[in-house]
Amino acid sequence: MKQLNKIRVAVLFGGRSAEHEVSLRSAANVIRFLDLSRFEIVPIGIDKQGNWFLGNDIFTKSLEQNNVPKLSQNHEAWFTAEWIGKPVKKNTLNELVQSDGQMFDVVFPVVHGTLCEDGTLQGLLELANIPYVGCGVLSSAIGMEKDISKRLAVNAGMLVAPYLTIKYDEWQSNAKQFVQKITEQLTYPVFVKPANTGSSIGITKVKTVDQLALAIEEAFCFDVKVIIEKALQVRELEVAVLESLEPHTDPIVSVIGEIKPQHEFYSYEAKYLDENGAILEIPAIISDDLTMKAKSIAKKLFIILECEGMARVDLFLEMTTQQIYFNEINTIPGFTQMSMYPKLMNASGFSYTNLLTHLIQLAIKRHTNKNRLRRDVHAKHVELVS
Ligand SMILES: Nc1ncnc2c1ncn2[C@@H]1O[C@H](COP(=O)(O)OP(=O)(O)O)[C@@H](O)[C@H]1O
Ligand SMILES: [Mg+2]
């Protein structure tokens, strides 16, 4: 039975993404810090095959230990997106169903990467008409796509590192010509990245042309589109942005943080495997002028990409010119113990718990606003012409 007056929050974690394990760590923290006086938690793990399980195992496993919590599959899967269009299996969740027929009031997707953070899951939740935390379909998809988000940033007058893109089909038929084009148009080193991943998965720093093809092949293991980008000499700045609950108010922009990778770049190893892989400096030691510029770019990006809820904007400060470049935006930023987004918001006056409450309130507000929309154009038309 639902606890009286509490909002039932389904925390979604795992997922069919290379960032599955990172998501488990993030979700474990979200579950730990949600305000239990307001919310009741329904933990839902998605395995790497896309099956959804009800389970609380990730927070009963010790979070203090450094090992990644595992998603156990003691239960029968009760949902798989691939069931759509197939006969629906009877689920065993009757005890969860509330008097209004809902299983939960709002979903908090704590998932990262493709098929999770890229608008696909958000689309499913839209179809199900369930409120969910964070960006909607459009900004989730754009935020995940490094090429499209950069194009919009450039369109708004921001700087991005020079880059070229290639699709898998083109690479298969024109690899040699493309390698030559890179060598003519960019200078080494370059970063080779899948267009749609996060956590530095599939990314290689390439120093000479003879390493390029292998790096591109590696990136194509994760996406059908790859970006090859000139490596800049940079300091890495990150800014947390949070939508305001007040109508017609600018989003809240955090203090600036700096990531100081202790590896050659901020690789997967530096992010998650080596506990000394990076130093997080909050606030970043930069001039007031640069702080103001970084904040204003982050806010502008949040607005032009039509983000909702939250986003972490990652910027580069180019060392020689002291100019700020847009690198990428993360619409479901990490929520692990070490993650920048909650740390930045904390340094800006939001405790982890208040931040989560604010995000859930935003989700419910957006859903209420959307449910106001008419779906009956035809009936109205008939009324007008009769
Ligand atoms: N153009 C670049 N110049 C310098 N460093 C870069 C560049 N592109 C990426 N990097 C390094 O690689 C890391 C991961 O790249 P990023 O584009 O942020 O991918 P992800 O979405 O996986 O985090 C960055 O944090 C930075 O350390
Ligand atoms: Mg990044």
Pick the ligand that lies closest to the CA of residue 162. 1
Minimum mean pLDDT range among 16-20, 52-56, 144-148: 52-56
Pairing between β-strand 225-230 and β-strand 204-206 as defined by DSSP bridges: unpaired
| Neighbouring-strand partners of residue 190 | 206, 230
Mutation test residue for ligand 1: of 118, 188, 260, 265, the one with most atoms within 8 Å of CB: 265
Q: How far is CA 152 from the centre of its chain?
A: 18
Q: Whose structure tokens read 């390698």?
A: 179
Is residue 20 pLDDT above 90, yes or no? Answer: no
Q: Whole-angstrom Cα distance, residue 102 to residue 96? A: 8
pLDDT tens readout for residues 238-295:
999 999 999 889 999 999 999 999 999 999 888 878 889 999 999 999 999 999 999 9
pLDDT at 3: 63
Amino acid letter, residue 264: E
Query: The tokens 């930045």 sit on which residue?
Result: 344
Exposed / middle / buried, residue 8 (Cβ in 10 Å: 0-12, 13-18, 19+): middle
SS3 349: coil
Provide, rounded to the nearest whole percent, the portion of the chain with pLDDT above 90: 66
Nearest ligand, CA 312: 2
Ramachandran area for residue 200 (φ above 0: left; ψ -120 to 50: alpha; else beta): left
Ligand 1 pocket test, candidate residues 191, 234, 314, 318, most atoms within 8 A of CB:
191
- Amino acid of residue 142: I
* More confident of the two residues 359 and 86: 359
Q: What span, in angstroms and rounded, lies between the C-alpha atoms of 177 and 175?
A: 6
Average pLDDT (349-373) is 93
Nearest to 203 by CA among 186, 212, 215, 188: 215
Please indicate whether the domains covering 144-158+233-350 and 163-230 agree at the CATH topology level.
no
* Ligand 1 atom nearest to 230, measured from its CA: 1
Per-residue pLDDT, 72: 58
What is the distance in A from the centroid of ligand 2 to the CA of 199? Answer: 6
For the cut 80, the answer to whether the pLDDT of residue 304 exceeds it is yes
- Of the ranges 199-208, 260-269, 328-337, 376-385, which one carries the lowest mean pLDDT score? 376-385
- Domain limits, the chain: 7-133, 144-158+233-350, 163-230
pLDDT confidence of 15, banded at 50, 70, 90? confident
CA 36 to ligand 2 center in whole angstroms? 32
Distance CA 320, CA 299 (A): 25
- Direct distance between the N- and C-terminal alpha carbons of the chain, in angstroms, rounded to an integer: 49
Q: Does residue 184 have a pLDDT over 60?
A: yes
Identify the band that residue 34 occupies on the pLDDT scale cut at 50, 70 and 90: very high
Mutation choice for ligand 1 from 17, 200, 279, 331, CB with most ligand atoms inside 8 A: 200
Strands 324-330 and 106-110: unpaired
pLDDT beyond 80 at 76: no
Per residue in 212-252, pLDDT tens? Answer: 999 999 999 999 999 999 999 999 999 999 999 998 899 99
Residue owning the nearest CA to atom 1 of ligand 1: 231
pLDDT for residue 377 is more than 80? no
**Quick one: pLDDT band at residue 60, thresholds 50, 70, 90?**
very low
- Give every CB contact of residue 284 below 8 A, 6+ residues apart in sequence: 235, 237, 256, 257, 258, 291
DSSP letter (8 states) at residue 56: -
- The reply to whether omega before 189 is within 30° of 0 (cis) is yes
pLDDT at 189: 97
Burial code (b: 16+ CB inside 10 Å, e: under 16) for 229-248 equals bbbbebbbbbbbbbbeeeee
Q: Quick one: pLDDT at residue 93?
A: 52
The confidence score (pLDDT) of residue 45 equals: 86
Which residues have CB under 8 Å from 307's CB, separation 6+? 135, 139, 143, 241, 243, 251, 301, 329, 331
Hey, which of 83-87, 154-158, 382-386 has the most confident mean pLDDT? Answer: 154-158
Residues with CB under 6 A from ligand 1: 161, 191, 193, 197-200, 203, 229-232, 234, 236, 261, 265-266, 314, 327-328
**In one letter, which amino acid is 167?**
K
If one counts every other C-beta atom within 10 angstroms of the C-beta of residue 162, the result is: 13
Q: What is the mean pLDDT of the chain?
A: 87
**Percent above pLDDT 70 for the chain:** 84
* Partners of 202 in the β-ladder: none
176 — pLDDT class (breaks 50, 70, 90)? very high
Distance CA 218, CA 99 (A): 50
CATH pick for 144-158+233-350 out of 3.30.70.260, 3.30.470.20, 3.40.50.300, 3.40.470.10 = 3.30.470.20
Give me the pLDDT at residue 62, please: 40
Task: Determine the topology of domain 7-133 in CATH.
Answer: Rossmann fold (3.40.50)
163-230 CATH fold = Dna Ligase; domain 1 (3.30.1490)
